[in-house]
Each structure stands twice: as C-alpha cells, then as structure tokens.
C-alpha cells in the first residue's frame, strides 16, 4: 500500500510506523536468543526486511518482518493472513454467519451453555477481564446498544427511549458467564467484541510469526499495532503517533519494541443528530454515545490490552483515566491476565474543542504513563 493512502486511513490519533532510528547496537540480542536452534544460512543481524499488505478483518493490514529469506517470509505472511481469516470468522460482528453472532442467536438462557471455540473463549475471557479492570468503561455486552445507535445513523434520530432502556438492561457482567461447557447468557445479551478483537488478532499474528522463528516484526491492522522485537541492530520501531489533523504530521514519536499500540476516538466515525455529535463509542454505564470529543492512543504490553484500554480511556476521559492507570499499576498478574502487562503502559489523550470542525485542533494533549514506561519509550 502506498504510504500516503496508509496515513490517511489512519487519521484520527492512530499510530503508524515511519521507519527507524539509526543505532550503534550491533544486533538485536532478544531476536538472536529466541531464534530457532536450526542453523540459518545468515546471522539474524543479516536478515532482510519484508513487507506484506492485505485487506483483512475489514481494514488494511500490514506485516513488516525481518526474515532469513523470501520463502520463509512468504510462508509466514500466508500463515498470518489465514489466522486473521479464522479470527474474523469467529469474532466478526458484521458477518451474520460468524461464530459470535451464531452463539448470541443460540444462547439466551442462563444455565444453558453454548459450546464455543478456543478463540472465542479467549476473547470473551479478556473482554470480561477488561470490563472489570475498567469498572465497566469497556464492556463487550454493549452490542444491543451499539446496534441501536448504528440504526440512528439511518433514521437520523435518537433511538426511542423505551427501546434504549431495554437494551441497556442487557449490558453488564451479570448477564453472562463462561463455564467449561461454553458461554451462558441471559435473554437479550449480545456480544460485540469490536473494541478488543483487532488487538487480539494482532497478538495472534505475532505469535504466528514466532512459530517461524521470526521475532523482529510489526503487524498493523488499520493503524493499531503489535510490535515484536526491534529490527536487527536498532533500538526499536519508530512510531509516529498521529495528531488530529487529517494527513498531518505525527504529533510525536516513540521508539518502541515488544508492545501493542491502539487508538480510539471519534475523529472519523460519528453521527450528528440535532447538532449533537455522537461518537461510535458508547459509555456502557449510561448507554449513551460519547459526546465529549476525544482521541486516545494506548501503549501496553500487548495489543489486546491496548485495544480494550483505548476504547475504555475514551469513555473515562481526562478525569477518570489517571484513576484507571493508578489502579492498573497495582493489579496482580492473575487479575491482569499476563505478567507485567501494565508495567509498560502509556495513555495519550487528546481532548478536542467541542465546537472544532475538521481539521481538528486539540485543545489539550495529556500523556499519562506508568513508571515502567520510561524504560521502553524514547521520545524523538
Ligand atoms: P475501538 O475503535 O477499538 O474503540 O472499538 C469501537 C467498537 O467497539 C465500536 O464500533 C463498537 O462496536 C464497540 N464499542 C463501542 N463502545 C464500546 C465500549 N465502551 N466498550 C466495548 N466496546 C465498545
Ligand atoms: Mg478498542
């Protein structure tokens, strides 16, 4: 894909990779130490850069990797595309035949579990985890409310209050549980994992590349990223965090490796009714779309966390986000779902002037970071 097209697709606070800094470090030791025992013809430091792009999961996706040869790179890329297709078939909200849509159709009674695949189980487990970690700001049962507001686009009016009230009642952790047998849901519960699935898919993509011995890689899905080890001989991947101006220069840069980066916000996707601008992000606690304008970029140890937290941080805004970060610093590994997951955590939040029209001007940029972040990020 042409770089220009790529940048415009990302406008709205999304992250993009622009190249990398020069560094005197000779080789990427982490890539070398985890490379397969098999003896490659070339040293890891000599592996070449390969880049692939495809439209997958409804968005432009891209893989940048360092591999010993074109054949290995091709086979690894094909495996990633296949993995994306599998995950899309399990998790897509837009495909009426996807597993998640079918499961929602077939469930609807607590005590009557519906069997689910390992991928759907892991996505729902993570959704549950992030719902409780964020105090309900991220909630994958927001589906019925999301659907009503999507319909509002066509009718150009708010959903009828009674229908919205009924939909809101189905949102929350009490309405569903996971058991060994599968998932059980109360009547009316509908999952929408659109706020976390892309991140999950990116993490799976990196895992897939690792099975081919490829550690230095960047995977991109519509501007959300998962970074593996740094390119050979480099400190990291230089990521430009886009500002709010369409096609504008990145607001700032970070040199990063082994993290996930995701952005959420209403710079591009919104609807307007009676002069009120409604975001596609819903506050699950009220059933109302956000009207306070914001764009958030989150850097976390993996893309699943970054994706879920970017949606949550938009909901929480400038007032509640610092409290969330404070809380995440203290969660134990069991609650976090992965050891040290929130040590490398940074939230970049733009608040847009309420009356701003494109090109947007950020009223304020706030950067919140946990202490561990200083070790992984370098501002250019
Ligand atoms: P993202 O772009 O990652 O913020 O995901 C947005 C999508 O997630 C929306 O299109 C909805 O399908 C869904 N969604 C909206 N609000 C929330 C929320 N508060 N928690 C979880 N998912 C949400
Ligand atoms: Mg998200």
Q: What is the CA radius of gyration of the chain?
A: 21
Check pocket membership of 315 for ligand 1, CB cut-off 6 A.
yes
Nearest residue (CA) to ligand 1, atom 20: 138
- From 58, 268, 311, give the residue whose CB has the most ligand 1 atoms within 8 Å, as the site to mutate: 311
Kindly state the tokens that stand for 153: 């686009």
Give the pLDDT score at 339.
Answer: 77
- Find out whether the beta carbon of 149 lies less than 6 Å from any atom of ligand 1: no
Residue 77 · residue 214 · CB < 8 Å: no
CA–CA dist 45, 42 (Å, integer): 8
3-state secondary structure of 176: strand
Say how far apart CA 219 and CA 231 lie, in whole Å: 13
Helix H, strand E, coil C: the string for 59-83 is: EEEEEEEEECCHHHHHHHHHHHHHH
Ligand found nearest the CA of 298:
2
Ligand 1 near 192 CB (within 6 A): yes
Which of 146, 150, 314 should be mutated for ligand 1, with most atoms under 8 A from CB?
146
126 lines ligand 1 (CB under 6 A): no
CA torsion angle 198 373 284 111 (round to 10): 70
Asked whether the beta carbons of 220 and 119 are under 8 A apart, the reply is no
Q: How far is the CA of 121 from the centre of ligand 1 (A)?
A: 19
Contacts of 42 (CB under 8 A, 6+ apart): 68, 69
d(CA 19, CA 58): 25
Say yes or no: CB of residue 138 within 6 Å of ligand 1. Answer: yes
| Residue environment code for 213-242, b if the CB has 16+ CB neighbours within 10 A, otherwise e | bbbbbbbbbbbbbbbbbbbbbbbbbbbbbb
pLDDT per residue, tens digit, the chain (380 aa), is: 333 323 223 333 333 443 332 222 333 444 445 555 555 446 777 899 999 999 999 999 999 999 999 999 999 999 999 999 999 999 999 999 999 999 999 999 999 999 999 999 999 999 999 999 999 999 999 999 999 999 998 888 999 999 999 999 999 999 999 999 999 999 999 999 999 999 999 999 999 999 999 999 999 999 899 999 999 999 899 988 766 665 667 777 888 999 999 988 866 667 888 888 888 999 999 999 998 777 788 999 999 999 999 999 999 988 898 899 889 888 888 889 887 788 778 887 776 555 545 444 555 566 666 666 666 666 55
Q: CA-CA distance, 183 to 320, in Å (whole number)?
A: 31
- Per the CB < 8 A criterion, the answer to whether 15 and 242 are in contact is yes
| Of 321, 274, 323, 272, nearest in space to 294 by CA | 321
Ligand 1 within 6 A of 297 CB?
A: no
Q: Is 199 in the pocket of ligand 1 (CB under 6 A)?
A: no
CA-to-CA dists, residue 33 to 29, 193, 194, 248, 341, angstroms: 6, 35, 35, 39, 22
Ligand 1, atom nearest to 284 Cα: 19
Residue whose structure tokens are 């890689």? 217
Q: Let me know the angle formed at the C-alpha of 175 by 169 and 176, rounded to the nearest 5 degrees.
A: 155
Q: In 3D, which of 81, 84, 85, 20 has the Cα closest to residue 52?
A: 81
Beta-carbon contacts of residue 139 (< 8 Å; ≥ 6 apart): 127, 131, 171, 172, 173, 284
């Amino acid at each position: 894909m042409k770089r220009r097209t790529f940048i415009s697709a990302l406008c709205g606070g999304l992250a993009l990779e622009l190249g990398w800094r020069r560094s005197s470090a000779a080789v990427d030791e982490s890539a070398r130490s985890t490379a397969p025992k098999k003896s490659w013809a070339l040293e890891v430091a000599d592996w070449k850069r390969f880049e692939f792009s495809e439209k997958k999961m409804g968005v432009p996706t891209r893989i940048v990797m360092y591999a010993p040869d074109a054949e290995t790179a091709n086979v690894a890329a094909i495996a990633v595309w296949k993995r994306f297709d599998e995950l899309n078939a399990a998790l897509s909200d837009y495909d009426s035949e996807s597993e998640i849509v079918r499961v929602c159709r077939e469930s609807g009674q607590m005590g009557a579990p519906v069997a689910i695949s390992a991928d759907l189980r892991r996505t729902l487990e993570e959704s549950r985890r992030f719902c409780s970690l964020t105090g309900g700001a991220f909630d994958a049962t927001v589906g019925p409310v999301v659907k009503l507001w999507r319909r509002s686009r066509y009718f150009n009016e708010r959903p009828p209050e009674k229908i919205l009230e009924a939909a809101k009642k189905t949102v929350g952790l009490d309405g569903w549980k996971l058991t060994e047998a599968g998932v059980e849901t109360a009547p009316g519960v509908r999952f929408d994992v659109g706020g976390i699935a892309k991140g999950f898919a990116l993490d799976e993509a990196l895992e897939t590349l690792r099975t081919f011995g490829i550690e230095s890689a960047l995977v991109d899905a519509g501007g959300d990223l998962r970074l593996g080890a740094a390119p050979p001989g480099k400190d990291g991947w230089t990521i430009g965090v886009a500002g709010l101006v369409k096609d504008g220069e990145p607001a700032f840069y970070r040199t990063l490796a082994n993290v996930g980066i995701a952005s959420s916000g209403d710079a591009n996707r919104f609807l307007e009714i009676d002069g009120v601008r409604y975001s596609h992000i819903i506050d699950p606690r009220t059933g109302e779309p956000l009207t306070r304008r914001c764009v958030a970029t989150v850097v976390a140890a993996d893309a699943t966390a970054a994706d879920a937290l970017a949606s949550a941080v938009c909901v929480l805004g400038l007032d509640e986000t610092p409290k969330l970060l404070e809380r995440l610093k203290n969660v134990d590994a069991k609650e976090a779902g992965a050891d040290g997951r929130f040590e490398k955590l940074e939230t970049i939040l733009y608040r847009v002037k309420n009356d701003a029209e494109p090109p947007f001007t950020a009223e304020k940029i706030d950067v919140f970071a946990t202490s561990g972040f200083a070790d992984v990020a370098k501002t250019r």
